[in-house]
Amino acid sequence: MSSQLELTREAEQGRLDADALRRSNEELLHFAESSPMPLHTLDADGIVLWANQAELDLLGCTKGDRFGQHVSKFHADPERCAEMLRRIFNHEKLHNFSARLKTGSGQIREVLIDSTLPWEGNGRVCVQCFIRDISAEKLVQDARQFLAAIVESSDDAIITKSLDGVITSWNQGAERLFGYTAGDAIGKSVLMLIPEDRQSEEPNILARLRRGERIEHFETLRRCKDGRLLEISLTISPVRDDTGKIIGASKIARDITERRRADVALRERTRILESLNRVGSTLAGELELEKLVQAVTDAGREISTAEFGAFFYNVKNEKGESYTLYTLSGAPREAFSKFPMPRNTSLFGPTFRGEGVIRIADVLQDPRYGKNSPRHGMPEGHLPVRSYLAVPVISRSGEVIGGLFFGHSKVNVFTEEAEKTITAVAAQAAIGIDNANLYRDLQHELSAHKAAETALRDSEARFRALIDNSFLPIWVKDCDGSYLLINKRYEEVFNRHESEVIGKTDFELQPPEVAKEFRKNDLTVIATGNPLEMEEIGFQSDGQHIYLAVKFPLRKTDGSIYAVAGICTDITDRKRTELELRQTRENLARTNEDLEKRVQERTASLREVIAQMEEFSYSVSHDLRAPVRAMKGYAIATMEDYGSQLDARGRDYLDRIIRSSKRMENLIHDVLTYSRLARTETILQPVSLGKLLQDIIQSYPTLQPPKAEISIHEPLHTVLAHEPSLTQAISNLLSNGVKFVVPGTKPMLQVWTEARDGMVRLWIKDNGIGIKPEYQRRLFGMFERIHQDHGYEGTGIGLAIVRKAAEKMGGSTGVESDGIHGSSFWIELPAANKV
């Protein structure tokens, strides 16, 4: 480049050809301007006179930023810049002066600066500076240094080798691992590290490397300088030159001896833990004692690596007597069955007493072995035991459940680790056995419980069926009023599904005032503990219903009330009917009352009438008779005292007065008799007709001989009659019978009775004048006289009295006559039972 500048100078100085010079100058300027190397011109004050585009690009600035500005403006280190200027203007030609520039955007650029010597041009001292940006190179260099440091300081052995296996580098890690120094190793074959029996590995590795493969975590053995074999893990990568050609390999080796040892320990530990875990879950899950102890024995043998194991454990029978069972592992049961149970020997005793673990490397050498009679050692045929491990199994309550015994025919088999693990297993086993015992007890309880439960369920099912089949709605509510149960009928009646009711209270199902009433009644039942029967009003989809409900408390076994049950009957219809009935009854009662009142009034007025009638009769009997009696009395007295002084006509007149007054007396008598009969209360009693007839005949001389003859045809029936009335009636009939005869004829009467269908008819047949049939109907009327008054005295009332009397006694009367041959009068009355 300096040659180019010299050319420029020559051109200026030569002035040979102005055009050529100008052209040359322009070419130079164009060259400088377009040079990819950043360059600039400084004056003696360090001011940048000019800079090319490459420099402006490097610094990320414009011409304005650079031209006429001090060069230090884009230097990161002012002191370095000052040194540079001092050295330039001290006439030093700089070469590879390192500096750090700061770009317009603040980036730092590592650069190397070259300069010309100061020279005079256009009357001023100038210098040209050339800048090389070495930032990228610097980075690579730094990285390489950094990597080398890493390699050097790495714990891992890092080695490089050529494809023919010659070691080309060797770090401190390699030195530490293998014992050789870098000086020892570089230039030697890697085979020196490979044990004899693994020499074949190397060609293999190299072959793979040549194919460009990377080998990772290849675990192998290597020998170090002192001859020890190391377990190492190798990672081998091909190393390529810039063109990608494989020129060697890097090898990272790590000592994994420790790790391998740890791995083995870990695997062992894992195995034990797995066993323990398996045992643990078996123990936790296995509740059958026999299976459990077998699992414990098997697990113990596995963990301890014993050849055989046994678990002797105590159980109690139902009587509470203790005895010992055992399980075996690794030996058939026959191997032990011929031996008795282990005794409390000095070897076994401590285990059965729970005094701790006994681990013996060689039992034959142990002082406790062979101390007990009679055998002093293992019985003949016993499995050969050298290593011995015995662990007591102790329950939570401190009771020794049994012992785990393990044996091995080799000495020194059982490690401390195994002992610890077996101890843990024993503890687990104890818990398991405790649980199994508990479980067994529980099973007994459970089966009893289950039987009870089944019975209960059955009875509940029956109960449920009963409830569901009930024709009446049934429900159960808890003490808070929530429905616990309803039956099918309830669902039907209230048109609500169980799911809509259960868990709800009446306040969610019924109008508030109804729910309030329900709740009040429920609470009464809860408070009193007594059943309650009441009418309740509830609502169904079709409106208000009335229920007759019986509520009663449900009690727990301790007597406390936990629910209220209810059964109800819909009595809406009944109530309606009742109401209607009541109204009807009330109406009826009112009507009855009215009627009663009317009857009473009527009765009262009737009584009054009767009383008046009686008064009338009384008056008649007293007062009406008195004048007649006086008339008759005076007429008779006149006849007696003065009859002799009268002529025949006078006496006839007096006689007529006397007869008329007598007739008047008779009339009054008969009318009174009739009216008395009509109002007399007739109480019927059995009356013997025979005796009655005799009495009547006795009291009427006209019925007796010689005036009349009455034949009574015995036997006569007994009738039900009112005796005074019957006497009156029969008297009248007999009187009539003897009265109405042809004059001069002696009355002859026949009397008999005839039974007629529950009635008795008394016949009185006379030999009188008879009654023509056409008159017979009128015969029993009042004041009916069918005979003209030619000598037949009569009032016309006698037969009316007979009829009235017969009718009053529930009977009747009548006559049969042809009007010529006498008459047959009869009176019929109810028959008494006796004849």
Partner 1 sequence: MNDKNPRILLVEDDENDVFLMERALSKANLASPMHVAMNGQEALDYLGGVGKYADRATFPMPKCVFLDLKLPFIHGFDVLEWIRTQPTLGDLQVFVLTSSPEERDRQRARQLGAKAYLVKPPTPELLLETFRGFPQCGPCGGN
In angstroms, the CA 247 to CA 163 distance is 6
Strand 561-570, strand 543-555: pairing: antiparallel
Residues near partner 1 (CB under 8 A) are: 617-618, 621-623, 625-627, 629-630, 632-634, 637, 669, 672, 676, 724
Give the residue from 215, 412, 209 showing the smallest Cα distance to 306. 412
Residue closer to partner 1 (CB basis): 321 or 641: 641
- C-beta of 378 vs 667, nearer to partner 1: 667
- For partner 1, the closer of residues 80 and 629 by Cβ is 629
Of 294 and 617, CB closest to partner 1: 617
Shortest separation between residue 627's beta carbon and partner 1, angstroms:
8
Positive or negative, the CA dihedral 657, 659, 660, 665 is positive
Shortest distance, CB of residue 628 to partner 1, whole angstroms?
10
* Closer CB to partner 1, 327 or 725, in the complex: 725
| Closest approach of partner 1 to the CB of residue 640, in Å | 9
> Residue 552: which H helix or E strand, with range?
strand 543-555
Structure tokens at 116: 């010309």
Q: How far is Cα 121 from Cα 243, in angstroms, rounded to an integer?
A: 49
* DSSP tag of 373: T
What is the Cα–Cα distance from 535 to 544, expressed in whole angstroms? 13
Report the alpha-carbon distance of residue 409 to residue 161 in Å, rounded: 53
User: What phi-psi label fits residue 523: left (phi over 0), alpha (psi between -120 and 50 degrees) or beta?
Assistant: alpha
Shortest Å distance, C-beta 704 to partner 1: 18
Residue whose entry in the numeric block shows the structure tokens 């001023």 = 124
SS (HEC) of 9-39:
HHHHHHCCCHHHHHHHHHHHHHHHHHCCCCE
SS3 content of the chain, % helix, strand, coil (to 5): 50, 25, 30
Neighbours of 728 (CB within 10 A): 22
| Closer Cβ to partner 1, 241 or 681, answer by number | 681
Kindly tell me which of 411 and 668 has the beta carbon lying closer to partner 1.
Answer: 668
Identify any residues that bridge with 322 across adjacent strands, giving them in sequence order. 316
Contact yes or no for 167/160 (Cβ under 8 A): yes
- Residue 637 beta carbon to partner 1: minimum distance, rounded to whole angstroms: 6
Kind and range of the H or E element at 590? helix 572-619
CB of 631 to partner 1, least distance (A): 9
233, 218 contact by CB (below 8 A): yes
Distance (Å, rounded) from C-alpha 813 to C-alpha 801? 11
CB of 630 to partner 1, least distance (A): 4
Nearest approach in angstroms of CB 641 to partner 1 is 9
For partner 1, give the closer residue by CB, 419 or 723. 723
- Whether cis (ω within 30° of 0) applies to the bond prior to 715 is yes
Of the two residues 597 and 659, which places its CB atom closer to partner 1 in the complex? 659
Nearer to partner 1, 69 or 680 (CB): 680
- Least distance from partner 1 to the Cβ atom of residue 693, Å: 21
Longest dimension (CA), the chain: 245
Min separation Cβ 694 and partner 1, Å = 22
